[in-house]
Structure 1
Amino acid sequence: MDEKFEILDIEEGDVVIDFHNATFKLSKLSSAMKDQILSNGLRELNNRLNHQGGGELPAYKNEYWIDKGVNSEVLKPGKNWQKGKCRIKVTLEFCPDEPEVEEIPEIKEPESPLDDLRRQINDLSS
């Protein structure tokens, strides 16, 4: 089965998620996930990166990691170094068990010019 996960977008309004034992608004769940990642997750990630000999991520305020971006450079295969900003995005994705069926509007055929004549004939013969 080819699962097609789509990002749940906070901008769509108050999306609510039920995990059978707990129900959350997406906005609150996403905010809690960001807070957790930034408070404990980055510290743990830095510990792991240090342990692997890779150094540490730069220390910035949380708002930079989430919104403004952190100064960085990226090297893509076959390209030169490119300066810019990196930021962390926390997303939750959803894949429905059954695809949503789109309602197809009922298409009315245009009236024929002969419909009026048919109605008049029917009215006369009744």
Structure 2
Amino acid sequence: MNNKFITLDCDDDVVLLEKDTFKVSRLKELVREQIYSKWERHSASYLYSIQNANTQISEFFKQLSVSQETINIDEIKLNLIIDCQLLKISGQGWQKGKLKIKIYISNVTTDKYKLCFEFCPDESAKPESPLDDIRKMIQVT
């Protein structure tokens, strides 16, 4: 693996995760829904169990106290990396690699949850040389 992740900008590309395939746009929707569900909805029941029902989990992460200093936290970033295959609409066929899902949870912006998908192929794709056709013809004869 070359560890060079490229951003998946085309929402029509297809990602294969084990047995399930998703368009990039649909996978982003599903991940965003899960983040919201786990971060917002479950925080209320968790906090109720510790007698702070009016506070959300995100409140716990707004600031850190180090000695007498307070550090405000504007954004929490999570990175997930999973094995996958990618089918680009440019027609290059399925490519094995890693999918990196970057999740940004902001305490200061109106768009609280942002996602970025990146892909790193296991093997770098070799650009096809214009001489490949000639080499194939020579090998046949």
Greater CA radius of gyration, 1 or 2? 1
Higher helix share: 1
Relative to the length of structure 2, the TM-score reads: 0.41
Higher strand share: 2
Relative to the length of structure 1, the TM-score reads: 0.45
